[in-house]
Amino acid sequence: MYPIWDVPYLSSALIVGLISSFHVLPSHLAVGALWVTVFIEKLAYSQNRSDYLDFVKRFTLLLLIFSFVFGSLSGIGIWYSATVSSPRAISALIHNYVWGWATEWIFFLIEIATIYAYYLTLGKVDPKTHIRLGYIYAIGAWISMIIITGILAFMLTPGKWLETGDFFDGFFNPTYFPQLFMRTFLMFGISGIYGLLISSTLNYQTKIDLSKLISKIAFFGMILGGLFSLWYYKKLPAETYQIIQGLPYMKTLIKVSILSFFILLGYFLLVGFIIPKLNNFALSLVIIVIAFIGILSGEGVREGARRPYIINGFMYGNQIIAKDHPALKIKSEVQKFEETGLLTHLGYLPQNLKKITSDNRLEVGRIIALHNCANCHAFTKAGLRPLPKLLAGFNPKSPEDIDAFLSALSAFPYMPPFAGNDEERKAAAEYLFTLVSSKK
Amino acid sequence: MQIGAYLNSMRDPAGLPAPAFIFDAFLVLTFALHILFVNLVIGSAILIVWGKIKKTEYSARLSSSLSKLLVNSVSWAIVLGVAPLLFIQVIYDPFWYTANTLSAFWALIFLAFIALGFSLIYVYYLSDGKRSVLWIILSLGLFLLAGIVKHSLAITQLYPESWPSFAVRDGLYISTGKYLHGFEIFRFLHFVIPSLAVVGVWLIFYAKYFRGKYENEYLDWVSGLGIRLALIFSVIQGIIGFFWLLTLPGDLNFIRHPVFIVALILSLIFILYLFLSYRSGNLRPTLMAILLGITVSAMSAARESLRIAYFSRVGYNLADYPVNLSLGSLILFLSTFIMGLIVLFYVATVAYRAGKGIREVGAHALGKISVYLLWLWIIFMVSIGLYNTIKG
């Protein structure tokens, strides 16, 4: 196993979650933005509305800064944070999907080239060429969604890949198409709110006309996106429902995301069809925040629903391979770690920590506990699912009580089995007991 | 367990989806492109600062001109860095993941440095260069910090036998990844110094590109500055490289490595060419850029050979990484790659002509083909998807 990273208060999985939730905002903007913008640019020429070009210019600048500074970097951030929090999981994804990612990268190149060209040549080249640049961007960016959805959906529903190990079987998995359509249409909603934000900074008549237009597009996008979300939800496997139903906070997350969906929908309805002049900068910002909370919750459900796995049906959250994969000649590791122990596989440790002695018991126990729990639990008193508090909930009287709990870990539907042999489990239990008993 | 056995046991159980050399070739190529743009960013930032502080008419003008380009180059540097990042963790996963988790905090803060540095550049750019050049200095500092982190992570990978001593201090395992492990000054400088040489070549190209648009006197000054920078800093780069070579572990015997020798000869040819151009005053930017590209690619290959040499000391060989061929996805990538080159060529053509002030840029046939190709890609992919879904 690779060295394990521990994040006080937050847990390493939450770091990935926070970065990826943020990333949704600039990335969906990047994908949806130019479909609407190119449309508005066309109107500018055909209806002789040169004021619409101000919108195009400002919107593209927003896109450049928000999506191509913070969007690109947070995208790489997801990858890096996953690398340091679950290196074996990201390794599995990379080794199966490297050519998918490399293909995605080609479209990143196309996006960067076209978006700068689009921004810098507005009004400087003939309209036909300029619109074509925007159009190439729009298609290229949508393709990058076509690709990444395959990999994201794979983690929750790997489908036939579990038997065949085939790239396309995993890519076009059972939730692929529902999720692709859901994201595609919701992206009009997300880019709509940015569009409203930018419109609100323009002069009055432009603002009114564009707010109406953009809200209408966003409204219908959201309706379709909502319908496809239902289809997506229907396609989720039965175990996923169990996890969602078993954890109260998952239900809360679902409610929050549905609520924010309807707030957005209502806003688009109002601005698009009833009172367009309602739209202003501050309100648009509020709507962006609401959208963010909604997305955060939705992605939280998608990420959480995989538990105890990190790649559903294949690898557990503690990075242990859960099941045999004959087609790829991979063996389940659960038994291996029970028999040979975890320590023998921690090749990054010095020799003196690879054997449990009376001197190093607690430290080795800590390392073993970190490998088993740190991805999902904070080891501090406060924070996300803090172990000291949760374990204290069982009121353990001795390390043996904790040991018994660890042996039965996989009885919880959302936690993986303990990885390690008996001696290691005892050491981990002793360490964990100190968390409960210490008064600090 | 010895470190070599650990390394081989940590290889991904899925194996490689294509033979290792394919990834290695793409790694070398994309890294060369990435580092060229990184150098361009650092070099332009330095000149922007210099030009504005020096405050002569020409230097200030060059400074403002370069600052319009800088955001663009940063974007390219970042996106071109993604590909080597991808390929390196496919074939060198045990090294990559261990080094990154050991310094996890730094691996992440690296991105914060870049994000902040990039934002500061935007602040300067959006003020049309009116704001204080301090913003650029700050972002230069942040980029150099980011460079130090990447450098250090690379060094960590080279010494697996030291990992246990990195992971544990005073008997305690360091679980927060708060330390960096290793810094080699000559190696680091060897990645930074070329910045001024690369931007020098860029200036020569600039002078040619804007010939006719700007007045000759200014452009002559720019290209004169360019060739001097290119020549001087290439020579300094050579000297630093020499010291780096001296500090390499003797058992690697790198000085005799054929790839290194070829790269060395190519870089000497490049320096000679720069010198002759300087003497004659006959500057040909395209040829110079090609020679620069060849030199940097060769050096990138030499760097890769050095890594292979380091790694073979601990018994890690690319040749014995198991392969689970995924032909379909490889074909998907290669064909997309070719398609991408066509589309990029079209966009580059438009940008090149527009930059010269041409309004009717033409190339419509190529433009149409680009759009069709993208739609074709989608139709093709959706067909595979539908076929797979129906079959399953």
pLDDT above 90 coverage of chain A, percent = 88
Which pLDDT does position B389 carry in this prediction? Answer: 83
Q: Which of A7, A69, A172 sits opposite B119 (nearest CB)?
A: A69
- Contact list, B328 vs chain A (CB under 8 Å): 166-168
Contact status, residue B340 vs residue A109, Cβ threshold 8 Å: yes
Q: Which residue of A has its CA nearest to B117?
A: A69
**ipTM of model:** 0.96
| Integer Rg of chain B from CA | 23
Q: pLDDT band at residue B388, thresholds of 50, 70 and 90?
A: confident
Is-same-fold flag (A12-316; A333-437)? no
Contact status, residue A170 vs residue A96, Cβ threshold 8 Å: yes
Compute the distance between CA of residue B95 and CA of residue B325 in angstroms, rounded to an integer.
Answer: 23
For A292-301, the pLDDT digits (tens) are 899 889 888 8
Residue-wise over A385-408: b if at least 16 C-beta within 10 A, else e? Answer: ebbbbebeeeebeebebbbebbee
CB contact under 8 A, B101 and A68: no
Q: Is B206 on the interface with A (CB under 8 A)?
A: no
- pTM (two decimals): 0.96
Compute the distance between CA of residue A196 and CA of residue B106 in angstroms, rounded to an integer.
Answer: 38
pLDDT, average across residues A323-346:
94
Which pLDDT does position B97 carry in this prediction? Answer: 98
Q: Which of B16, B168, B176 sits opposite A353 (nearest CB)?
A: B168
By three-state DSSP, how is residue A72 classified?
helix
- Contact list, A165 vs chain B (CB under 8 Å): 14, 324
CA distance A176 to chain B (A): 9
What's the whole-number average pLDDT of chain A? 94
Q: Residue B211 carries which side chain, given as an amino acid letter?
A: R
CB contact under 8 A, A116 and B359: no
- Contact list, A169 vs chain B (CB under 8 Å): 388, 392
Q: SS3 for A174-229, per residue?
A: CCHHHHHHHHHHHHHHHHHHHHHHHHCCCCHHHHHHHHHHHHHHHHHHHHHHHHHH
Q: Is B268 on the interface with A (CB under 8 A)?
A: no
CB contact under 8 A, B332 and A100: yes
Q: Which residue of B has its CA nearest to A15?
A: B108
Tell whether the model's pLDDT for residue B1 goes beyond 70: no
For B28-68, the pLDDT digits (tens) are 999 999 999 999 999 999 999 999 999 899 999 999 999 98
Please state which of the four CATH numbers 1.20.120, 1.25.10, 2.60.40, 1.10.760 is assigned to the domain occupying A333-437: 1.10.760
Which pLDDT does position A65 carry in this prediction? Answer: 93
CB contact under 8 A, A110 and B360: no
CB contact under 8 A, B171 and A352: yes
Q: pLDDT band at residue B392, thresholds of 50, 70 and 90?
A: low
CB contact under 8 A, B361 and A5: no
pLDDT, average across residues B7-32:
97
For B240-288, the pLDDT digits (tens) are 999 999 999 999 999 999 999 999 999 999 999 999 999 999 999 999 9
Q: Is B128 on the interface with A (CB under 8 A)?
A: no
Which pLDDT does position B2 carry in this prediction? Answer: 81
pLDDT, average across residues A374-403:
94
C-alpha separations of B294 from A139, B10, B34, B38 in Å: 34, 35, 14, 17
- List the domain boundaries for chain A: 12-316, 333-437
- Contact list, B29 vs chain A (CB under 8 Å): none
- Contact list, A100 vs chain B (CB under 8 Å): 329, 332-333
What's the whole-number average pLDDT of chain B? 95
Compute the distance between CA of residue A181 and CA of residue A227 in angstroms, rounded to an integer.
Answer: 10
Which pLDDT does position A440 carry in this prediction? Answer: 45
Dihedral of alpha carbons A359, A364, A365, A366, sign: positive
CB contact under 8 A, A347 and B5: yes
Q: pLDDT band at residue B328, thresholds of 50, 70 and 90?
A: very high
Q: Which residue of B has its CA nearest to A110?
A: B344
Compute the distance between CA of residue B177 and CA of residue A81 in angstroms, rounded to an integer.
Answer: 12
Which of B26, B103, B122, B388 to mutate to probe the A interface, most A CBs <10 Å?
B388
Q: Is A80 on the interface with B (CB under 8 A)?
A: yes
Q: Which residue of B has its CA nearest to A174?
A: B389
Work out how many CB contacts closer than 8 A connect A with B: 277
- Tokens 């990184």, residue? B38
Q: Which of A84, A172, A360 sits opposite B104 (nearest CB)?
A: A84
Q: Is A45 on the interface with B (CB under 8 A)?
A: no
For A158-179, the pLDDT digits (tens) are 999 999 999 999 999 999 999 9
Q: Is A313 on the interface with B (CB under 8 A)?
A: no
CB contact under 8 A, A177 and B389: yes
Q: Which of B1, B344, B385 sits opposite A176 (nearest CB)?
A: B385
Q: Which of A4, A169, A349 sits opposite B175 (nearest CB)?
A: A4
CATH architecture classification, A12-316: Up-down Bundle (1.20)
CB contact under 8 A, A350 and B370: no
CB contact under 8 A, A110 and B344: yes
- Contact list, B9 vs chain A (CB under 8 Å): 345, 347
Please name the residues between 135 and 164 in chain B that touch chain A, using a CB distance below 8 Å: 163-164
CB contact under 8 A, B350 and A363: no
CA distance B70 to chain A (A): 12
DSSP string, B216-247: HHHHHHHHHHHHHHHHHHHHHHHHHHHHHHHH
